Amino acid sequence: MDTDGSIPLLTLLYALLLLLGSFFTLAQSAIITLRDAELKRLCEEGVPKALRVKAVTAKPRRFKGTTEFGFLCCTVLSAVCAFFAFYGPFAALLNRQIFAPAGAAAVWGQVVAFAAVFFGALLLILIVARTIPYHIGCSNPERYAFICAPLIRFFMALFYPGVWLVQGISAGISKLFGADPAKQKADVTEEEIRMMMDEGSERGVIESEQVEMINNIFAFDDTTAADVMTHRTNLVAVPKTAKISDVVFLAVNEGFSRIPVYEEDIDDIIGAVYVKDLLVLVNCESADDFSMEDFIRPVMYVPDSAKLPELFRQFTNKKAHMAIVIDEYGGTSGILTMEDLLETIVGNIQDEYDEEDNEIIQVDAQTYTLDGGVELEDLGKLIGVEFEENDDYDTVSGLIIHTLGRIPEPSEEISVTIHGILFTVLLVEDRRIARVKAVIPAKRELQE
């Protein structure tokens, strides 16, 4: 069969199929990578493109099935086109120029041509239709999700019969071998679970608190001790030489049931005093005659880079409730309690000894006063802004100090605009920004 006349057409079709396959990869990576919180915020603002993306993510299984079905169809058809376009001419060229003059059989030219076309097509599929569009989609998910969503909705409708047929046939064959797909655990990714949770929350099936808890569980594995510990600057501890009465007074006023004890300074914590152990001295008139060392219990020491799942296992196995967090130089970074671990999942746990902490107070629709120690992530969720992650800081105080390049003086009135938000320092204590006023612009201005 003479295919010379069809080579340009097959080559063009091959290139178009590769590009279409790359589109399905781009769409899947961009839409799955797009942050749920950002998409929800844009939908609430009525952004039309965001609403189109939301319509796609509302059916995660169908969306994923469509992109995979489309990608496979395009890659298989492109490989077929490559074979018919290049195999015959290339085999003839090899036999004419190399194998025939050498006296070799024509089959050698056919074998080499087949291998070259096969691996060449495979390489182009992996690079052009898979790897490159995947990285492009992940690099700017919002932009490409908005671009791809309308076409994906079209292909979801177009490929629905094919996807349904494939799923039906595979389910029937699976049952012949004793496997019931309906009873098998679904291969659901973290992103799909997040999308389904958000959809359930919007329909009122799942409470927003439950959605947040599920998201916190996913984040739990990647969270370190340094992320949730009480920093050393806020650490309440006593020296080994402290009097029992001083410890009792501190426990009553601070509401702590376990107080770290240090040898010479805060970087040399040797244990902790449990307030319940001091109850034996309630009726003792001379409690201070007892040595503090008699009541010191050993504590756990953990690195600040330790992940929370491992710490949770250590707390459980050792039946511990508090650990001292150590930095890479052996100094004290802070303390971590079992309550801190639980709060990363269920949120703030307020007990009878905790004072109500008004870290963030809303003054009016666009004005807040907040503690300098408020996490940027918490503030961002409240006002709908995604602050850039930075290893140098993670609080409002740290952000302002990093922007200014210095710590404001206690009597200094200073303001700085970050992400369109006007931050005004209200109070500076102990070389830290204690209180801040934040003026949030209108949502449209904030987005710009």
Residues 113 and 159 in one domain: yes
Is 355 inside a domain boundary?
Answer: no
Q: How far apart are CA 115 and CA 319, in angstroms?
A: 62
Residues 342 and 432 in one domain: no
pLDDT of residue 220 exceeding 60, the answer is: yes
Residues 172 and 236 in one domain: no
Is 216 inside a domain boundary?
Answer: no
| pLDDT for the residue numbered 317 | 92
Residues 257 and 317 in one domain: yes
Mean predicted confidence (pLDDT) in 423-442:
85
Domain that holds residue 85: 4-184
Is 190 inside a domain boundary?
Answer: no
| pLDDT for the residue numbered 433 | 86
The model's confidence at residue 325, banded by pLDDT at 50, 70 and 90, is: very high
Residues 41 and 178 in one domain: yes
Share above pLDDT 90 across residues of the chain, in percent, rounded to a whole number: 13
Q: Phi and psi (nearest 5°) for 364?
A: -150, -165
Q: Which residues pair with 439 in a beta bridge?
A: 367, 422
Residues 23 and 156 in one domain: yes
Is 202 inside a domain boundary?
Answer: no
Q: What is the CATH number of the domain that holds 428?
A: 3.30.465.10
**Least-confidence region, from 19-33, 45-59, 180-194:** 180-194
Last residue of a domain, one of 151, 184, 217: 184
Is 36 inside a domain boundary?
Answer: yes
Residues 329 and 404 in one domain: no
Residues 174 and 25 in one domain: yes
Q: What is the CATH number of the domain that holds 317?
A: 3.10.580.10
Mean predicted confidence (pLDDT) in 254-280:
87
Last residue of a domain, one of 184, 216, 243: 184
Is 201 inside a domain boundary?
Answer: no
Return mean pLDDT, the chain. Answer: 82
Is 280 inside a domain boundary?
Answer: yes
Is 213 inside a domain boundary?
Answer: no
Q: At what angle do helices 132-139 and 7-33 cross, to 10 degrees?
A: 30
Residues 338 and 437 in one domain: no
pLDDT one-digit tens code per residue, 98-152: 766 766 767 777 788 888 888 888 888 889 888 999 999 888 888 899 999 899 9
Last residue of a domain, one of 306, 323, 346: 346
Residues 104 and 241 in one domain: no
- Token look-up 């691996």 returns 119
Residues 269 and 121 in one domain: no
| Tally of domains within the chain | 3
| pLDDT for the residue numbered 340 | 87
pLDDT of residue 358 exceeding 80, the answer is: no
pLDDT one-digit tens code per residue, 401-420: 888 888 888 878 888 888 88
Q: How far apart are CA 369 and CA 170, in angstroms?
A: 59
- Token look-up 């880079």 returns 305
Residues 235 and 287 in one domain: yes
